[in-house]
Amino acid sequence: MAIVKGRLGAVYMAKYGAGATAMTNEATTKSGTNTIFTITNTARRFVDPDTAVVIDYPDNATPVTSYATFQAPGGKVKWAVTPGGGDVFITGKYIAVAEVGQCKSWTLDFSTEMIDVTEFHDTFRVMQPMIMNATATIEHFYADSGLFAEMISTSPRLGVDLFIEYDAGTPANCKRYTGYGTLGSTNISVDAGGVVEQPFTINFSDGPYYMEGL
């Protein structure tokens, strides 16, 4: 496995709840097994979760509900078994996504909530796993204007792309975790011997999902 340089990382965000743009019969790219179909236009990879989505297959005029899952962050439709060799089209709304500048690192934490279900006569404590949780912590230099400042002032609900590797020249090389969440917390730190920083956290509510490519 090749070592990935941290400097190839990036953070992209999309604000949802307002400003979504309609898309009709948006084309998708199919996987080799014809079970996963992903929106081809990477600028439209964040599908608005507040808008009903219509999936058409095998043409752009036949709505279906036979698919297994639809992943709004990433614009991905999945079938458990291939529906055939036709094409998939998606109608709904998408949210514009852009890079968040002044970021220097990010950390993604996963945890599982555990409930103690130990009973009398048990020799060891018994813990029951319940639900998973994911939080991103992003180290960010303070900016009094720009994308991030505008986002947190108008809506805490965000689409987030955390890139392990971002390669604009070869999108197939991109690797990222994508999902929807809310702004958990942020603070501004001023140091006379350094620069002003504003780290922030994102609490995921849908995802994060690992994806390769844009």
Q: Model's pTM, two decimal places? A: 0.85
18/50 Cα distance (integer angstroms): 9
For residues 185 and 143, membership in a common domain is answered with yes
Q: Where among 94, 119, 135 does a domain terminate?
A: 94
Written as tens digits, the pLDDT of the chain (214 aa) is: 567 777 788 898 887 766 789 999 999 998 878 899 999 998 999 999 989 999 999 998 999 999 999 999 999 999 998 888 889 999 999 998 888 888 899 999 999 999 999 999 999 999 999 998 999 999 988 877 665 666 666 666 788 999 999 888 888 888 999 999 988 888 889 989 989 988 889 999 998 999 987 7
Residues 154/156/161/163 CA torsion (nearest 10 deg): 100
- The residue range of the domain holding 35 is 20-94
Q: Where among 94, 121, 142 does a domain terminate?
A: 94
Three-class SS of residue 141?
A: strand
196/184 Cα distance (integer angstroms): 20
Q: Look up residue 187 and give its amino acid.
A: N
Residue 127 · residue 114 · CB < 8 Å: yes
Q: Domain count for the chain, please give it.
A: 2
116/8 Cα distance (integer angstroms): 42
